[in-house]
Amino acid sequence: SRLVVKLADFGFGGPIADSSFDEEFRTRARSFGIEIKEGTSSVGMTNFAMAEDLHALGFVFLGLLLTSLADIPTPQYKMPATDEDSLQRLIAEIFDKDFDSFREYVEAEDIWENIVSLLDENDGAGWDLLRQLCFARERASENKNELTVLTARGLLSNP
């Protein structure tokens, strides 16, 4: 068998300060109740920009776990969809952002039994981290008036 690695969306990075000039970024922020004016900078904008990266990272980790650690019985086995769009649709639309229901979905697939066990360790710390990453934009929205910035290091250091 052969491993195929697909990398996407790495060509769109840039300085956070430039984010306010991106209409799509401002539109996404508005959908989370965060107003960003073109050409301005704020803690809220920085938080949302970083939250977008954490959100994307969460789905990359999730996809990586579900594919690389899957216990596939035969080479012909057809796995459930694990691409970022499918996972986002499952979590946001099918499970209405209920990560516990998504966990049950993953647990129902025999090929992911070992992944569930891994994420369940330490009272579900793996699921908690994935939840925080995947819903980082929602957290940025909830905390839009705070003067703290959400970072990956902060997520990892919080119990």
Q: Tell me the mean pLDDT in the region 128-152.
A: 87
Four-residue CA torsion sign, 134, 139, 144, 149: negative
Check: CB of residue 34 under 8 Å from CB of residue 19: no
Compute how many other C-beta atoms are within 10 angstroms of the C-beta atom of residue 51.
Answer: 25
pLDDT of residue 17: 83
Q: Tell me what the pLDDT averaged over the chain comes to.
A: 89
Dihedral, 106, 107, 110, 115 alpha carbons, nearest 10? 80
> Which amino acid is located at 97 in the chain?
K
Tokens of 95: 């499970």
- How crowded is the C-beta side of 36, counted as CA atoms within 13 Å? 32
pTM of the model: 0.84
pLDDT at position 1: 65
pLDDT of residue 59: 95
| pLDDT score at 6 | 67
> In this predicted model, what pLDDT tens digit does every residue of 47-100 receive, in sequence order?
899 999 999 999 999 999 999 999 999 999 999 999 999 999 999 999 999 999
Average pLDDT over every residue of 102-120: 97
* Across 11-20, 29-38, 80-89, 138-147, least confident range: 11-20
